[in-house]
Amino acid sequence: MTEYDEGKVKNTENIVCDLCDLPLEPAKTVLTYMRSTFATILLRCPKCKQCYFPEDLALGQAVEVESTLEEK
């Protein structure tokens, strides 16, 4: 998920964590699927670590990654 590499992921929508009242920041986040584990950059609350997986990512690149892992 290269487009979501560090530097490209920005909190342009100014989304804040409602729990901690802090703006989300890009941070390395671990994802797992089909016995594979890898890290990517997602927006995340610096305090409580709640993260954000945007819609375009879920419906785009994530589907490709899922298919690849399912077909490996």
Partner 1 sequence: MGPREMRVVMRACTQEEPPECTATCPVHFNAKGMCKNLLEGHAEKPLETYQAKVLFPRLVSAFCLAPCEGRCAKQRAGQAISIRALEENMCRQAESIPSPAKPLLDLPKTAAVIGGGIKGLACAFQLYDKGFKVSLYEKEDRLGGHGWLLDAELARLDFALLDDMPWKVHLGVNLDEKSIREEIMPVYDGVLFATEAAPISGLSWDEQTNQCTSQPKLFWCKHPCPSPYSIIDAVACGRKTATSAERFLKSVSLTASRQREGSYQTTLYTDIDETVPVDRRVPYSKPWPRDAAPLPGDPAPPKGIYSAEDAGKEAARCIQCECMKCVKQCVYMQEFESYPRAIIHEMATHIDMLVGQKQSGPLINSCSVCGLCTQLCPYDIGMPQSTRGARVHLVENGDNVEATHDFPMRDLAFSNGENYWFWSHGPDQKASRYLFFPGCQLAAVLPELMLPTYQYLRQKLGEEVGIGLGCCGAPAHWAGYDEKKKDELGEILTQWREMGEPTVIAACPTCQQQLEEAEPTMNILSLWQVMAQQGLPATEKQRPRPPLAIQDACGSRHQTKVQDAVRELLAAMGCPVEELAYSRENTKCCNYGGLVAYANASLAQEALAERLSESDADYLVYCGACREQCQRGGKTTWHLLELLFGEKQPPTVDISLKRDNRIKVKQDFYQFIKKDAWTPSMEKIHLIVSEEVRKTLDKRLVLEEDIQRVIEMAERTGVRLKKADGRRFIAHSQLGIITYWVEYEPVEEGYVIHSAYSHRLQIVEDVKKPTGSKK
**Which stretches of the chain bind partner 1, using CB under 8 A?**
13-19, 24, 29-35, 37, 42, 44, 47-53, 55, 58-59, 62-63, 65-66, 69-72
CB hemisphere CA count around 69 (13 angstroms): 15
Q: Which helix (H) or strand (E) holds 70?
A: helix 61-71
Of 9 and 62, the one with the shorter C-beta distance to partner 1 is: 62
Which one-letter amino acid corresponds to residue 54?
P
Query: At closest approach, how far in Å is the CB of 18 from partner 1?
Result: 4
Q: Which is nearer to partner 1, 9 or 24 (CB)?
A: 24
Phi, psi of 4 (to 5 degrees): -100, 20
